[in-house]
Structure 1
Amino acid sequence: MISKHPFHLQNVVDTRVLQEIQDRFSEATGLAAIIVDYQGKPIVRYSNFSAFCARVRQDPMSRSRCEQTDAHAGLEAVRRGRPFIYRCHMGLVDVSAPIVVNGQYLGGIMTGQVRMEKKDMDSLEQFMQPAIDIDQDPTLKRLYESIAIIPRHKVEASAQLLYVMANYIAEKGVMTIIQEQLNEKNMRLMEEIKARAELEKALKDAELKALQSQINPHFLFNTLNAVSRLALLENAPKTQEIVFALAELLRGTVRKIGQVATLREELTYIKHYLLIIQTRLRDTIQVELNIDEDCLDGEIPLFTLQPLVENAIVHGLERKEEGGRLTIRILRNEETVRVEIEDNGLGMPPKVLEEVLQLESKRSDRTHLTGLGMNSVYKRLQYHFGSEFHWNVESRLDEGTKIILVFPYRAKEMK
């Protein structure tokens, strides 16, 4: 069974250790050796490479046959799942041993470049004929005859030893990586569980505070609706509009805590809030809305954007004598929604911005993001969307602040 989690040999083993093992192996056995990755590329230097093979590979056709023979032998070793002994096209004894961990072929060990007794060599498979006639090249023949003859059982034992050591090192490396991945996943899971617990506690605290309220909110917005109708009868349309907006905001606050709304509903509450603010501040704050209609049916926890708009105005723009500009962008990119709330207000210094990004800020002087603002918004969105939710804050002192929220588009089910 092939592993679904690919590993690369050079990433799971210490190549310096492999090089040391390979060099000592060659010194002790007289066999040449090289360890390659799954593509056949060496990950260490050749050890004890014979002068005969080096000369053979100077000929392009011979070099090509060497590579073809090695590739064929590598496939055969993988198929068998153990070291495979064969003859190269020039007649030398070579061994190919696979490195396989969790069913995944990571690479191989190529060793050999030796001779054995004729009867033992004749029993080995030879994939193709030589490209060079040794008898026609005295130098090459001399180099061939200088290669040591090693008993077959020693070749087999040496190859098995290197095979076992390399596979053991590779398996230990893979297990280490898997354990690190599991530890990382466990840490993320623990952080998510902690975030959910904190959010649930915050929601329970908010519910308790709502129950402790001495004034029935339904009474408040019913009263405001009555005032709104009275203003209309008395020909005060602007007053009627403001009172209606406030009543709608109050109506939203009595909806169940943690309830999911559409972005369209959330935007409606923001517009009611902005109407009240612009009236109170005599239109010194200019508002620009850039809204993608395709994303307005997507879901979002109720009242998660309005606190950020309020922070931008109260801590960024309202204190600015000449007023300023607030821009709200809600855009959809395929299956993702991107919300940007940007102002050209007071901004915040780098230290405060760093605290905000770490969700540690409890300041209320020059920063937008009080504990009640970004902390609450971040936890609710993270709780709702999980790891698919991302956010960032960009700010420069006396230049302004931009809050960026990114989360998946999920069409809200209509009941």
Structure 2
Amino acid sequence: MNKLNMQGAQNPETEDISDVEISLKNFDIVHLFGKEKLEAIQERISKVTGLAFVTVDFKGQPVTESTYFTEFCHCVRENKLTEQGCWSSDAYGAVQATITKKPSIYFCPCGLLEIAIPLIVRGHYLGGFIGGQVWCEDAPDSIVRLENILGQPELLESSGIDLNLRKKATALSYEQFCNVADLAAMIINQMTEYELSKLEGPKSDRGKIEALEREIQSLRYQKRQREMQLASMENNNNSRFVLNTLTSIANLSIIENATETNAALIVCIEYIKSLMNVKNNFWSLMEELDNVERYLTIQKLRYEDRLNYTIEVPEKLRLQRIPSNTLQAFVHQAVEHGVALKENGGTVKVSVQYMDDEVVIYIDDDGPGLNNEQLEKFYGHFDNGIYSDGILQSIETASKRMRLLFGKEYDVVTEVVENEGRRVCIRYPRYFDEGVITDVPDSNRG
């Protein structure tokens, strides 16, 4: 059993540990966990998050073997010219985490994104977990880059290490890295509290109640996750049936030489496949706009020269996260309530940009610019308004989802100008926590 520095422990062999107070002055990270358990915990965190990790003591010295280290980092740390830069990087992360008492994100001297997660117990810094080794191209300029401080690039050039190995590291967006790092920090903090609670002895009644409440919340979360998995399985089964049916029709259209029908079906099949591949309620703008283009491709086959469209998105925004299937309803409206109502057709334009810390998306059409009341009158002559109401209901559902996710200030804004068209403006924060979706129903899944 690990030896602990106790206050008032007259007879450690007989006295109950719950009757003494643990002194943390000479207590370190290895005493708390034990080296073998520490390495097992570290390996589990690496498996869950996909990040490389090593544990350091309060001086920044490694106390465990590394896990999930990239080939590039192994080469750098084993090279006599460059190893010192890695140790200095680990020490920097540990010091920053100590000072701020919170995780510190920075670029190591070799240009890979890392995080130092402090292990603080009752105000005492015992050590930390240094993790990451991630290739990231969209981190904010404010993130510290140690290569500018430690001069590692010059040493790398003369070391003989293959720099191409660096790009074999896991590639994540900055937002993805922050989410994974938050998960790692949460796991580490919970495990620390658990180990400390075992040393401090039985909890008070209040502590037991809090523990039970946390367990109940955890069970509720697990129940919700299972329900979502079951719903996803059911939706996937329905989608597969539709997919197989459309594939059969597409094959038939080839036999009958119906080339346009076949082209539309192929695009529709790709659209359904993309929906089936959505693992959660968010995906990249690239995936979102690919789906929008599939829809517009089908409509182009339908309207031919009467429909033109453009999609403008800067390269740096392509990996930006967005709630899945946000734009579909608005693009549908732009086609049906805009271009389709003009005798000579028109143009639908989708454009995306960053504006300060927000993502701003515009969907424009140069249709007749009818408001909802005018649309209701127009379609009421043909189908009692059912078709138009269906589009407007989809619009309201999508707008409500954005309000639930990001707040009322992010409501979708539509500007209609008679005889000129419509502009829809969708805004949401550039940085956000995807975890909030656990409490918000996904309007895109039946």
TM-score > 0.5, shorter chain as reference: no
TM-score under structure 1 length normalisation = 0.40
Structure whose alpha-carbon radius of gyration is higher: 1
